Every structure is written in structure tokens, then in C-alpha cells.
Amino acid sequence: MTDAAWTAFDAAAARDREARIADQFAADPDRLSRMTVEAAGLYLDLSKQSWTRAGFEACLELARATGVESARARLFGGEAVNDTEGRAVLHPALRAAEGADYRALGEPVSVEVDTVRRAMADYAQAVRTGRETGATGKAFTAIVHIGIGGSDLGPRLVWDALKPLEPAIDLRFVANIDPRDMAEALTGLDPETTLVIVVSKTFTTQETLSNAEAAKAWLAESLHEAGRDSHFIGVTAAPERAAAFGCGRTFAFRDWVGGRYSLWSAVSLSCVIALGPEAFDGLLAGARAMDDHFVSAPLETNAPVMMALAQVWNVDGLGRSARTVAPYAHGLRRLPAFLQQLEMESNGKRVHRDGRPVERQTSPVVFGEPGTNGQHAFFQQIHQGPEVVPAEFVVVRRTQGDAAEAPLWANALAQGQALMQGKTTEAARVELSGVDAAEADRLAAHKTFPGNRPSTTIVMDRVTPEAVGALLALYEHKTFVEGVIWDINSFDQWGVELGKVLAKAILSDVQAGTPSAGLDPSTAALLDRLMR
């Protein structure tokens, strides 16, 4: 059944390869209504995607044949969908309403989730009101959040999106092991009023622990040991390691929370404190609304499913190996970086669940910049380069105050229109009327846009906690659906591990003062140069 669905998918893609997107609106009068959907406060327009009606139907059949609906039930049912590590994947449980009954491999987890969420809110209010103080009795006015990957990207995106122009608490993030990152974060801060939150699932991550040691040393220069641990908070699935490190208090999350899906947990404690528990509750509510939509909506009107099918269609049907994401809102400027980890770490896999090599492309390369900045950088390539790069535009009606930001979203709409319509050589020649004919012929080729390049547009009214929560949950479920269709495990990341292991070995060589005999000639020569 799956093979037949893939065969039909390939045949539909071959038929649609030369079809013009713009022509489909006349050929299929219902296209706009069928290819737009509202979900959890977001409006999605996929009508500028490269499929015909028959192509979209082939995609839907592929989703059914590969078991998207049953896999969705297993995810929300707490089954071991991360089968290489034998774990449930239950980030939806983290944003469920209080009193829910989620279970991970049969074990009830919702009571624990509710307990940690209340503890986070209580601690956040204590810090915000000055009831929780540092070693010298002064209230905390700054937070340094230390983490990397999923322990950094999600909370950093949330803070950038939702922070007030004049925040009551100065929240700074440190991820890079380069000492410059920590130096910049600590500059201008007072140790007496600074809270350090160390986020690490295992509390063994090299970059995070190195930065945490630097922060500990910085605090020790100014604060006596008594009470110093009140400045150090651990967020981890290994609380005993955090306590041994010197954290005065820990907030836990479990191993059924994947790092890149963990912003809904205590991983975002720094944001709960700096934004307030109410804002975090709104973030969870928006994600929960998208969860409800994903679980209940038919596949043909299901926003995450439609987004996933568009990507599979472009990648596997039409051979497009990259996708750009352009958020037309300064507050969402880190969305492309967040999606790079979410999608490429989840679905950048080379084998199926049973270990067989994949026969098709899996995750495309994801890149982007906020609009309109990207228009003056890489948009030239996506308009006129030989490789077709599908685009995603996230458009916000009001990004600041009550005024509609027409100049901002007019640019976004224009980009989608230009990608689809393009400009013919004949139209370019008309623009060159009055120019010598031979010169007009020469220049017209440079001013021609092939068009027929697909895009999706996501619209939200404002960058609210609810809208941000819905947007991030939309992409989480999209990524999951793609993994189901490709028959890969979206929830492990073994590709991250090899470099970590080799880095430890190279550090041992540095400490020994000489490259080891096992190093390849290139790496040995580079190490020798760097150690001089």
C-alpha cells in the first residue's frame, strides 16, 4: 500500500513538474478556499504551492498510506515513538490544561507536569516581587540563561518575540563555548543582583558546563560562599548532578521531553521569570490550541499536515533540497535558527526506522533571515537562480502598537507574488522601450524572472504569547508528520554525538601537548598549528 502511494505520488509529481502555479487558480476555482486554513489563530495560505489538485490528492493519499493518523495517535498516547531510545515523546503533555491525563509508556505524567508548572510560577513571582533574593539580600534584576541547542534556541526565540521594550528583568543568553559570548553577557551586570540559570538535560553538556563554570567563577569573585547557591538554578533531567555542581535549586523535566521540543517545560524558566507566568500560560495555551487542531482536523484541512505535505512534495516530488523561511517581524527573527534545529536535527536522517538506507531525500536545508533584510541578501538567488527554493513567509499584521504595518507586509505579499508570477522576457522588453533593440534584447534576459516558484504564507494578527505558541507547535507537528511519511525517527540525534566524542579526544591531545597517533594527517596538522 505504501509503495503504491509513493508510485502514485511520483507520477503526480512528474505530471505537475511543468505546471504553472498561477494557472491553477483558473483551472481549479476552489483552489484558494481549499488551500487556505485557519488554525489556533493562524491563517495559512498554501495556494501558491507547486501542486495541482491531483497532486495534492496524491500527497493526501501518501499521508494516509504511511500511517500519519495512527502515528499521531501513538504520539499523543505516550507510546515509544522514539524507538531507537525506547522513549515516549510527550511535549504536548507539557502544555496540556491542568488536570490532563497524559501517560508516558503507561506511566501517568500530568500530575508531575502540573506540579512543576506551579513551582515555576511560584518561583517566578517570588523573583519578580523581590521575595526571592540573592546572597546579600538584594532582589534579582538580571538573569543569565546558559544552555545550548534546544536548551537555548526555544527560550531565546520566545524572549525575543515577547519581551517588552523596557523589561523589568534583563535576560541574557549564553550558548557558545567561545569565552567572548559569556564575557558579553556578563558585562555591566552586578553579581549581587544576577541569577544564573543553567539548562542541560543531562548536565554533562560540555559547552554548557564550561560556561556555567565561568559564571560560577564570576560570582565567586564578588560573593561569599554562604548564600551563593541562591544565584544558581539548575534545569535538568539529572537533578543530582545539578546539585553536585552547586545549584541551590533545580527544576526537573523528564527524558520523554526531547531537547528541541522542550521550551514548554522548565527549560523556559528564565522566560517565565522575565515575562511573567501569565505570558508563559498564554504560550502554552496557543500551543495547546494547535495540538487540538492537529488531533481533530481532517488531513485535507489540517494545518501541520498540509505544511508537511508541501515540503515532501517539493523535496521528494520535485527535487528541491532547500527551503527558506522569512519572518516579516523583528521579534521572530530567530525563527529560522529555531527551525534549523527542529527540522534538520529531527529529520536529517539516512536510514529508515528499521535501519535500511533511505531511498529519498529527507530534511531539506533550512535557512532564512527576517524580512525585509533577506530581500537585500539572498532573495536574488531564490528569484533568479537556477535552483528552485520554496519560501515561507510569516507575516504579522501589527508588530508594534495598534498600527497595521502595511509597508512591512506589503513587501512580504509582493515577494510571494513575484516568485509565483515572475516576469517574461517580452514584459522586460516592453520596459526597455526606447533602448536600442540589440541592447534591449541583451538586457531583457537579465530582467527576466522565471516565476513559478512556490511559497506558503502564514499570517498572525500580533506577536502574542498565544500566537507564538501556536506557530511553534505548528512547526513541531509539521516536522513529525514529515518523519512519519519518510519512515524515519524524528526524535533521536545520533549525528550530534560523534563530533562530541572526537572533540573530547582532541581536548585530551591538547592537554598532552601533542596530537595522538590516531589522528588523520589533516586534523593532526591543524591541531599542531593551533597549539603553537
Torsion of CA 262, 263, 266, 269, to 10 degrees: 160
Burial class (CB in 10 A: 0-12, 13-18, 19+), 361: middle
Active site annotation includes 345? yes
Dihedral sign, Cα of residue 78, residue 83, residue 87, residue 93: negative
Three-state SS string over 429-462 comes to HHHCCCCCHHHHHHHHHHCCECCCCCEEEEEEEE
* Exposure of 332 in the CB half-sphere (CA atoms within 13 A): 31
79, 192, 343, 345: the active-site residue: 345
Distance CA(76)–CA(85), nearest Å, equals 18
Pairing verdict, β 455-462 and 42-45: antiparallel
| Angle, helix 153-162 to helix 277-296, in steps of 10 degrees | 110
> How many CB atoms sit inside 10 A of residue 170's CB?
16
Three-state SS string over 170-231 comes to EEEEECCCCHHHHHHHHCCCCHHHEEEEEECCCCCCHHHHHHHHHHHHHHHCCCCCCCHHHH
Report the Cα–Cα distance between both ends of the chain, in Å, rounded. Answer: 61
Identify the three-state secondary structure at position 146: strand
Cα 338-293-252 angle, rounded to 5 deg: 50
CA nearest neighbour of 418 among 442, 440, 397, 447? 447
Burial class (CB in 10 A: 0-12, 13-18, 19+), 50: buried
376, 387, 431, 497: the active-site residue: 376
- Can you read off the three cell numbers belonging to residue 393? 513567509
Active site annotation includes 231? no
Task: Judge contact between 327 and 368, C-beta under 8 A.
Answer: yes
Residue carrying the nine cell digits 566524542: 501
Task: Judge contact between 244 and 255, C-beta under 8 A.
Answer: no
Supply the DSSP symbol for 359.
Answer: S
Distance CA(438)–CA(422), nearest Å, equals 23
Cα 478-480-486 angle, rounded to 5 deg: 105
Active site annotation includes 500? yes
Distance CA(49)–CA(307), nearest Å, equals 10
Active-site amino acid positions:
345, 376, 500
